[in-house]
Amino acid sequence: MRASGMAAAVATAACARNPPPADAATGPTQARTVPLSSVYLLLESEAPPPDTAVTLSAGRPRHILFRTAHNDREVVADLYFGEQAFQASPGTPVPVTIRPAPGTYGLVLTAGAPFAKGGEITFKYAVHFLQPPESVGKYPNHVLFEHALVVGRLAAGGQIDLLPSIRPAADNLRAPADSPGTYVVAAPR
């Protein structure tokens, strides 16, 4: 009886020092712009996905799945464009191209029409990702690293816009995709 009481006290103390990570119920992360050197970028562990090019019809909601070239055809990212995503008349063809972002778990998004409300991007990183080795000092295991991840968009001048990100499911991270650019997954240094 005494041993189990001691174990419970140790477990309670351990939980008090290491609270569980926040979940999606806490709301999106805070948007901010920081130097690119102040984040660790999530890395791609395998060959990057092939380029994906599709033509959407403005005014019609559409998902585009960006998949690996591996036999498993895993989804790396799901891009959603709603009815008002583009500044184009309904029915206008809008070419959209998605390419892998070199050296990172990310993508480069371009479109043949200016964005209006834009869309949203959901990165799915259950497989084919790699924690950067230099991040192990701050995040000694992949679980701690994963809970610090946010979606970012590379900006001019060596900056990155960290976007308001939520976790709609395990190993998923969602943020607005309201302009063309390079979208990546990152954790603060």
Using alpha carbons, select from 3, 32, 28, 13 the residue that is nearest to residue 160: 32
**112 DSSP assignment:** S
Phi, psi of 98 (to 5 degrees): -125, 125
Using alpha carbons, select from 180, 60, 48 the residue that is nearest to residue 109: 180
> Which helix (H) or strand (E) segment is 183 a member of?
strand 181-188
Task: Give CA–CA dist 87/27, Å, rounded.
Answer: 29
Over its length of 189 residues, how does the chain's per-residue pLDDT go in tens digits? 444 343 333 333 333 334 344 444 457 889 999 999 999 999 887 778 889 999 999 999 999 999 887 677 788 999 999 999 999 999 999 999 999 998 899 999 999 999 999 899 999 987 768 899 999 999 998 889 999 999 999 999 999 999 999 999 988 999 999 999 999 999 999
Strand 119-124 relative to strand 75-81: parallel, antiparallel, unpaired? antiparallel
Task: Give CA–CA dist 105/119, Å, rounded.
Answer: 19
Integer angstrom CA distances of residue 157 from 37, 160, 176: 11, 9, 22
Q: What angle do CA 119, 85, 25 make, to 5 degrees?
A: 30
CB 70 within 8 A of CB 45: no
Give this prediction's pTM.
0.83
- Which domains are present in the chain? 26-188 (2.60.220)
In tens, the pLDDT along 121-144 reads 999 987 768 899 999 999 998 889
In tens, the pLDDT along 38-50 reads 999 998 877 788 8
Using alpha carbons, select from 18, 56, 23 the residue that is nearest to residue 147: 23
